[in-house]
Amino acid sequence: MSLLIFLRQGKVMYLKYYKIKHEPFATTADPNYLFVGETHKRALERLLATVTKQRGITTIIGEPGLGKSTLLRTLLTRLEQSVNFAWIFNTTMQPNELLKYICRDFGFAPKSDNKSDLLIELYTFFIREYEKNCLPLIIIDEAQNLTLAALEEIRQLSNLETVNKKLVQIILCGQPQLDAKLDMPQMVQLKQRINCKAILSRLTCEETVAYIQHRLAVAGAENTSLFSHMALRKIYELSGGIPRLINQLCDDALHAGAHQKMAQVDTSIIRELVENGDVIQAPAAESKTFQPACQLQKNQVRRKKTVQKPGTAVNLNRPRIIEKYDFFEAIDLSELLSLV
């Protein structure tokens, strides 16, 4: 029987053994555990600035497991103005279904299945939210799965604006395939409307160590040096600096360490997990930021938690006119509201 299966069946609780208050390596997207590495820091700063200034469409590109969802949840906690957001997880829908899903996630049932009617309902909702000084935000996760037709509808939604601000903010969050899809000739109009693109990279060796100790500290561990220097290096090499894989490996290693009553996890634990097939290793890295030859020095461990300052709220101007679309002529907002 695999060591990992045995440990899980026996429900070995390493929290008590290692004196940790909360689970440090859970895979849920908890903003409290966000570790702000270099690329994550830049991405968060750009997201805050773009959404706060109401620039329209933003993209976040990153491999699976790099913490895109955690970054987005952190963004929502850092925005100063009131926000009403729709978070879309199912991206395999047809365009009309996507529009109806967005309506429902904003809290209202669409009255029609007709695309033009759906768009007018959403435009009207965005204006109502604006009048309440509330910022509408659409987050689309796994956006690389959207069809080209669905992406075109996203472009249409972004057209409602004042003289200098977009009335709805849209974040397209996806894997590198999204970037490739946006480079297609059919997507040139949408790509031109993307105001900001944030790219997340894998953690470096030093960041991996700081990440592990950061999560242990946030979880209330009395000792954040529960992994030996060589074990940390091995965790980096196996995980490739991907946070999700780091979490899985650290969690399994602490289970094993507690089972064997080890005061500190060393390379023997990591080696045993690998030999038993209990470790999911990172795929080959495309990013140049991944450095398999870890040159970590013991004095390079970072212990301080980085705190990101929130964005600055802005004053909104009253919208004046809707752009001209393929399906209806540009009209005054007062005329649009009279249609509801």
- What would the pLDDT profile of 169-180 be if each residue is shown by its tens digit? 999 999 999 999
In a domain, 305, yes or no: no
In a domain, 98, yes or no: yes
* pTM to 2 decimal places: 0.77
CB 279 within 8 A of CB 273: yes
Token duo for residue 57: 């469409």
Q: What is the pLDDT of residue 291?
A: 40
Tell whether the model's pLDDT for residue 331 goes beyond 50.
no
Say if residue 8 is in the same domain as residue 141. no
Give me the number of domains the chain comprises: 2
Rounded-to-integer distance, Cα 82 and Cα 241, Å: 35
Q: Which residue in the block uniquely carries the two structure tokens 């109502």?
A: 128
In a domain, 243, yes or no: yes
Rounded-to-integer distance, Cα 291 and Cα 5, Å: 31
Say if residue 216 is in the same domain as residue 162. no
Q: What is the pLDDT of residue 282?
A: 74
Q: What is the pLDDT of residue 295?
A: 53
Tell whether the model's pLDDT for residue 152 goes beyond 80.
yes
CB 204 within 8 A of CB 58: no
Domain that holds residue 11: 3-32+203-300
Say if residue 26 is in the same domain as residue 45. no
- Maximum Cα interatomic distance, the chain, rounded to a whole number of Å: 73
Say if residue 20 is in the same domain as residue 128. no
Supply φ then ψ for residue 168, to 5 degrees. -130, 135
Q: Could you report the per-residue pLDDT of 238-250, keeping only the tens digit for each?
A: 999 999 999 999 9
Q: Could you report the per-residue pLDDT of 282-292, keeping only the tens digit for each?
A: 777 664 433 44
Rounded-to-integer distance, Cα 20 and Cα 141, Å: 32
Q: Which residue in the block uniquely carries the two structure tokens 């469409």?
A: 57
Say if residue 163 is in the same domain as residue 252. no
In a domain, 190, yes or no: yes
Say if residue 213 is in the same domain as residue 271. yes
